[in-house]
Amino acid sequence: MFKLEARPQASRLWSYGSPVLALAITVVIGVALFALLGKDPVRGLQVFFWEPIRTPYALGELAVKATPLLLIALGLAVCFRSNVWNIGAEGQFVIGAVAAGGVALLADKTTGPWIVPAILLAGILGGMVWAGITALLRDRFNANEILVSLMLVYVATLVLGYLVYGPWKDPMGFNFPQTKMFERVTQMPRLFSGSRVTIGLPLALAGALALWVFLFRTRAGFALQVGGLAPAAARYAGFSSRTALWSALLISGAAAGLAGALEVAGPIGQLTPYVPAGYGFAAIIVAFVGRLHPVGMVLSAILMSMFYIGGELAQSRLGLPKSLTGVFQGLLLFTLLACDTLVAYRVRWARPSKGGR
């Protein structure tokens, strides 16, 4: 029989090997799912893991999906390392998109290029304000940030719905719930001709570098992490838990709001009820699969964007439901949680006693 035996210290090998093993198990379960659904497993894996990187255009689409996931995950990593459980990044993403869209709607034919940084700033501020509500309620009333941030996601979605069904609805849009298309001057500059990749990609990569410097090369980053790992030691060292709470949530909200601004003023080009794409929730998986490390999150964002694109392709080419994307995301998260057991425990073979016990 097998039993789990506590390790004297956490395994460094399995800290990095656990996500790889989780991905391998997810792939094996995915093969079984394709077979049960009557689809060719090899073709299914090809749709998820080969088609998204097969051509330069496909790589560009992969980058388009990975950009918001990476940006949001970077902000969430700051929260999680600080032991602040921000589960509402989706709402901060939506409000950032709403604020950015409001600025974009002010543009006309005479507006200059200055509108682009204004849109990005509006998105950042919108995300920060929405995350600040959670910080305020946690700080002043000791409200649970998990519940508050999560409930605010639904409020944000309702705010978006009110605007696109009401005052911001395009009068020339044939009664569809959407704003008018933003002026060309508001569109995020694209990096390559014939591709939808915008300046969001270098901004996300720059954010990963900035996070690495902040976490591992600054006193403020060190204080946040100490506060998360050992609150009593942080207080003894003079680090403010209140400052850590506000800093973590505002940074996370800013990152999610920036992602929302880049999305609506980039690939989407208008506000619609479908702005909430689940990026805020998927980014939680990205953060943990990437081990809350900037480099790891870059890689996991690419993997998660492959799941998004693979799900869309599976729907159109294999006749499978698009919800298969969520199935793969959930499988990856749960297998990761299971495999993380190996970080603190080792599996031992124990001979059963003669008495059968």
Query: Of the segments 93-102, 193-202, 346-355, which one has the largest average pLDDT value?
Result: 93-102
Section 24-28 average pLDDT: 94
Q: Is the dihedral of CA 329, 332, 335, 339 positive or negative?
A: negative
Tell me the C-alpha distance between 222 and 219, whole Å.
5
Tell me the C-alpha distance between 231 and 311, whole Å.
42
Q: In a 3-state reduction of DSSP, which class is residue 8? A: coil
Tell me the C-alpha distance between 128 and 25, whole Å.
37
Section 160-182 average pLDDT: 95
**Do the beta carbons of residue 148 and residue 91 sit within 8 Å?**
no
Residue 159 has which token pair?
């705010």
pLDDT band at 323 (very low <50, low <70, confident <90, very high): confident
Whole-model pTM: value is 0.93
Alpha helices (runs of H) in the chain, residue ranges in sequence order: 12-36, 41-49, 56-81, 89-104, 115-141, 145-165, 200-217, 219-229, 231-236, 241-263, 279-289, 294-317, 324-339, 341-344
Write down the pLDDT at residue 232: 77
pLDDT tens digits for range 275-319: 999 999 999 999 999 999 999 999 999 999 999 999 889 988 888
pLDDT band at 224 (very low <50, low <70, confident <90, very high): confident
251 vs 195: which has the higher pLDDT: 251
The CA dihedral of 288, 294, 296, 301, to the nearest 10 degrees, is 80
Section 238-255 average pLDDT: 92
Write down the pLDDT at residue 264: 97
Tell me the C-alpha distance between 1 and 276, whole Å.
47
Section 22-42 average pLDDT: 92
Write down the pLDDT at residue 355: 54
**Do the beta carbons of residue 234 and residue 81 sit within 8 Å?**
no
Decide if pLDDT at 233 tops 80.
Answer: no
Q: In a 3-state reduction of DSSP, which class is residue 278? A: coil
The amino acid that residue 273 corresponds to is: P
pLDDT band at 228 (very low <50, low <70, confident <90, very high): confident
**Do the beta carbons of residue 177 and residue 161 sit within 8 Å?**
yes
Averaged pLDDT score across all residues of the chain: 92
**Do the beta carbons of residue 67 and residue 190 sit within 8 Å?**
no
Write down the pLDDT at residue 336: 93
Decide if pLDDT at 240 tops 90.
Answer: no
Tell me the C-alpha distance between 207 and 121, whole Å.
15
Tell me the C-alpha distance between 53 and 306, whole Å.
9
Write down the pLDDT at residue 22: 94
Write down the pLDDT at residue 293: 95
pLDDT band at 352 (very low <50, low <70, confident <90, very high): low
- Using only C-alpha atoms, the chain has a radius of gyration, in whole angstroms, of 22
Decide if pLDDT at 241 tops 90.
Answer: no
pLDDT band at 245 (very low <50, low <70, confident <90, very high): very high
Write down the pLDDT at residue 234: 79
